[in-house]
Structure 1
Amino acid sequence: MGKVLSGLDMFHIAEVLKDTKDELEFSVPEELPGAVSMKLDPKSETETFYADNGAFAQLSSLGDIDGEMEVADLPLDMQAKIFGKTVEGGIHFSSADDRTLEIALGFRAKISTGGYRYYWALKGKPELVPVEHKTEEGKPSPQPTQVKIKFSPLTNLKKGKKRWEAKAEEGNGINAETWFKQVVYKDITKEETPVVDVGK
């Protein structure tokens, strides 16, 4: 029987604290309730090399990785943290000097044959959230928040190895508790690397 994916839940966000050739560190993931939709759209750039009077080889490279997250609401406190906003007396101020964090984004989808498929997009820079509301026309009209995120491969060469995404299916120690405990960026298929320790 083939597998079909459906649903989406358990958004988790972690800050990319360090990502250099020598160091890689993430903050402890924080859950973001209200997952509505998620799209990851990696672009590959392909160039045809011609020789012997014809197409000789196809050379491919990773291009832009566009992400779009839709959530019931992105709380003001989390917006302040992600986008570097100033909070004074409970009022959130946006400034031209605000500095947006790089983040990792985790989530999961349900598998029709049982269990879940888990994901981490490892490093992305979110765009500022637009403000868009409209009047109710006789009945409530939910207005989820859309966040566009531009993802890129990790810089780290020792642990990250230019990786940009991690995904796995439930089983062999992989479940919601272990997957979202920390950002997964190492090879968890090796026996000497327990699942609960990936990301350390």
Structure 2
Amino acid sequence: MAIVGLQDIVYAKLIKDDKTGVQYEEVKPFAPAITAQVETAQESATQYADNGPIAVITQTGETTLTLTVDEIPLDVLADILGYELKNGVLIYKQDVVPPYVALGFKGNKSSGGMRYVWLYKGRFSVPSDEWNTKTDSPEFQNQEITGTFVRRDYDKVFKVTADTDIPEFAPYMDTFFDSVFDLSVLDGTGS
């Protein structure tokens, strides 16, 4: 089935990720969705011996997310970039290290179902801005932002996806985005 839509981008700041567990802040709305492109880097190497290939190894690298949205609110930019928002003024500082965040969204499927996605640990870079003068014909200037996502230290997971048209997913469908999806619920050990 093909993906035919995108909606409901949300995020949560990662506050703990070590061998004892993982913890996030509350889930918040991000910005109205236009496009999301998710690319995970993978490199393969083939071992040759006895005049032929005998083994292949694959290494999964970082995941790059490119989002195009209507407009990212200043409070969201401050939150995901680690900047200060003071009296309606977003203060960009060069030495600020953005916090790690999780990002989730939904995609409509041609089957009528939905694809749900969480990227668990990433940092965003300052978005590009484009400003154009008004002309006789109105033209929207959307905002694009890029994030780089990696695996969590706790369990090495970097992404989860789920489909609403798979019956086994039904118990988790209504709460999937209430908090960052806790994989322990799949084993019956989570909240």
Output one character per residue of 1:151-174: Cα deviation in whole Å (capped at 9) or x when no partner: 101111xxxx20100111124223
Report how many residues are paired: 187
Q: Is the 8 A contact 1:100 1:125 kept in 2?
A: yes
Gaps of 5+ in 2: none
TM-score, length-scaled by structure 1:
0.87
Q: 1:123 to 1:115 in 2, by over 3 A?
A: same
SS at match of 1:114: coil
Distance 1:8 1:89 in 2: 33
Q: 1:185 to 1:60 in 2, by over 3 A?
A: farther
1:134 paired with 2:132, answer yes
Gaps of 5+ in 1: none
SS at match of 1:173: helix
| Aligned twin of 2:59 | 61
TM-score, length-scaled by structure 2:
0.90
Output one character per residue of 1:20-66: Cα deviation in whole Å (capped at 9) or x when no partner: 12231011111124111111100111011111121111111102311
Q: What is the Cα deviation at residue 193 of structure 1?
A: 4.6
Distance 1:14 1:184 in 2: 11
Q: What is the Cα deviation at residue 112 of structure 1?
A: 2.1
SS at match of 2:170: coil
| Residue type at the aligned position of 1:183 | V
Distance 1:23 1:187 in 2: 11
Distance 1:102 1:189 in 2: 24
SS at match of 2:175: helix
- Tell me the C-alpha RMSD between the 2 structures: 1.6
Match of 1:83 among 56, 65, 81: 81
| Aligned twin of 1:25 | 23
Match of 2:106 among 108, 112, 121: 108
